[in-house]
């Protein structure tokens, strides 16, 4: 069957299936692209572009919208053509996806986004999708991923030197920053301590802090503050990396586990104790190897698969219609 006949047959079938009356010139649906022996219709394109166009209309001024919408339609259509080519190739190679795999993928998505069955059904309504249509989308996604692995995996391999070179060049990527686990006594000068300001409280605070015994912790210090008539709160601040701490608390990283420090704020005092401190560490190459393989695999995969898609396009019959 030659391509001209296929093209004619596709156009005829689309008009028949859409109930178009050629005699009255009414077009309910039309073809926007032909990919080998399959078509992409305007209604299919609209289904994919409607939410994107809706967002674009709220983002761009009126004078820009026409060009933006045209660009969106062209880009989405190009992606739909690529998707169609991949699904055709997968069918040719006999790649199939079981109903169980589709159900498992949907359940995984529900778990990832913490969706109940009711919330999931509601999200389908918002996307204007039936469960059957959504399952088909998932089937197509899994099919394309399976095709990608089928094409790419046999072409990717790594030498030990390649892995080690990446590790040595990107050492910072495998670094785990040190942390401090802080506990504090918080003394505030507002309603907790009446009209007393920092100037009034300061001598008492430093007296209690400087006279603490080596065996005393924050609980004992809090008791002593209470005896001095100072209201304080004992809290666990949590675990922090250096760049997560406010600048005034950076002193904590110069301390050792078990050490104390006083930090003066604008309207508060913080008596800090370092409960635990860890140093910067670098993951050993042996532990990082699998992670490096995944990084390099993804890099090579994208290049190999883009070349493969380009080859599919070059060897296919593709005709795109005017979208205006």
pTM attached to this predicted model: 0.58
Q: What is the mean pLDDT of residues 259-277?
A: 90
Token pair belonging to 157: 């391999």
**Does residue 232 sit within a domain?**
yes
CA distances from 96 to 32, 85, 104, 153 (A): 27, 15, 15, 18
Q: What is the mean pLDDT of residues 12-41?
A: 65
Residue 18 has pLDDT above 80, yes or no: no
Domain that holds residue 240: 178-279
Does residue 215 lie in a domain region? yes
Instruction: Work out the mean pLDDT of the chain and round it to a whole number.
Output: 86
Q: Is residue 202 part of a domain?
A: yes
* Within a domain: 35: no
For 186-216, what is each residue's pLDDT tens digit?
988 655 555 456 667 888 888 888 888 888 8
User: 242 and 250 in contact (C-beta within 8 Å)?
Assistant: yes
Which of 26-30, 108-112, 209-213, 296-300 has the least mean pLDDT?
26-30
Residue 151 in any domain: the answer is no
- Contacts of the segment 160-169: beta carbons below 8 A, 24+ positions apart: 162/296, 163/285, 163/289, 163/292, 163/293, 163/296, 164/285, 166/292, 166/295, 166/296, 167/285, 167/288, 167/289, 167/292
Domain total of the chain: 1
Distance between CA atoms of residues 184 and 116, nearest Å: 40
Q: Give domain status of residue 318, yes or no.
A: no
Cα angle for residues 7, 90, 17 (degrees, 5° grid): 35
> Tell me: the pLDDT tens digits for 99-122?
999 999 999 999 999 999 999 999
Q: Kindly state whether residue 210 falls inside one of the protein's structural domains.
A: yes
Whether 271 is in a domain gets the answer yes
Tell me the CATH number at 195: 3.10.50
């Amino acid at each position: 069957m030659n391509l001209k006949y296929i093209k004619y047959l596709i156009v005829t079938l689309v008009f028949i299936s859409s109930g178009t009356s050629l005699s009255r010139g009414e077009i309910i649906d039309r073809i926007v692209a032909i990919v080998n022996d399959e078509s992409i219709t305007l209604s299919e394109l609209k289904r994919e572009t409607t939410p994107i166009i809706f967002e674009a209309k709220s983002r761009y001024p009126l004078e820009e919208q026409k060009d933006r919408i045209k660009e969106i339609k062209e880009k989405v259509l190009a992606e739909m053509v690529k998707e169609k080519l991949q699904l055709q190739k997968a069918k040719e190679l006999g790649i199939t996806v079981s109903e169980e795999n589709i159900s498992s993928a949907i359940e995984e998505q529900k778990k990832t986004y913490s969706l109940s069955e009711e919330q999931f059904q509601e999200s389908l309504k918002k996307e204007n999708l039936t469960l059957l249509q959504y399952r088909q989308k998932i089937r197509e996604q899994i099919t394309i991923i399976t095709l990608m692995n089928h094409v790419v995996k046999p072409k990717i391999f790594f030498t030990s030197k390649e892995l080690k070179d990446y590790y040595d060049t990107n050492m910072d990527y495998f670094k785990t920053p040190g942390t401090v686990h802080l506990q504090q006594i918080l003394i505030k000068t507002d309603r907790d301590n009446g009209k007393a300001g920092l100037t009034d409280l300061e001598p008492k605070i430093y007296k209690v802090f400087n006279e603490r015994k080596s065996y005393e912790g924050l609980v004992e210090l809090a008791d002593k503050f209470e005896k001095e008539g100072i209201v304080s709160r004992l809290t666990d601040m949590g675990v922090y990396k250096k760049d997560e701490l406010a600048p005034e608390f950076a002193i904590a990283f110069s301390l050792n586990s078990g050490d104390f420090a006083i930090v003066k704020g604008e309207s508060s005092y913080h008596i800090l104790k370092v409960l635990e401190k860890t140093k910067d560490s670098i993951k050993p190459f042996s532990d990082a190897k699998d992670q490096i393989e995944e990084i390099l695999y993804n890099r090579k995969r994208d290049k190999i698969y883009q070349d493969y898609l380009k080859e599919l396009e070059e060897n296919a019959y593709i005709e795109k219609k005017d979208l205006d």
